[in-house]
């Protein structure tokens, strides 16, 4: 099976890009996913972006390949 070339770039629940959420986190000194979720409302619907937000905060990246089930499991 070929890898999906479409990167994951946003939280669809609040229609905000990870770049926008990264900027918000930087402006407010947010370092945890929980704090980012409380302030932004991200992941408040389906929650599928939560592992991507975790990686964004850890790495600074804002575009991701689709994560496997094991990669997206809570840490």
Annotated domain spans of the chain: 10-59
Q: What is the pLDDT of residue 74?
A: 61
User: What pTM was estimated for this model as a whole?
Assistant: 0.86
Q: What is the pLDDT of residue 71?
A: 73
Q: What is the pLDDT of residue 75?
A: 53
Q: What is the pLDDT of residue 73?
A: 65
Q: What is the pLDDT of residue 54?
A: 97
Residue 3: DSSP 8-state: P
- Stretches where the chain sits below pLDDT 70 are 1-5, 73-75
User: In Å, how far are 1, 7, 51, 69 from 10, measured between CA atoms?
Assistant: 24, 9, 12, 19
Q: What is the pLDDT of residue 7?
A: 92
Query: What's the CATH number of domain 10-59, 1.10.10, 1.25.10, 1.10.3470, 3.30.565?
Result: 1.10.10
């Amino acid at each position: 099976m070929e890898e999906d070339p479409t990167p994951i770039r946003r939280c669809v629940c609040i229609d905000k890009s990870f770049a926008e959420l990264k900027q918000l986190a930087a402006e407010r000194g947010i370092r945890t996913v929980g704090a980012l979720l409380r302030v932004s409302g991200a992941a408040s619907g389906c929650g599928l972006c939560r592992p991507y937000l975790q990686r964004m905060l850890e790495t600074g990246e804002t575009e991701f390949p689709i994560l496997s089930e094991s990669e997206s499991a809570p840490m």
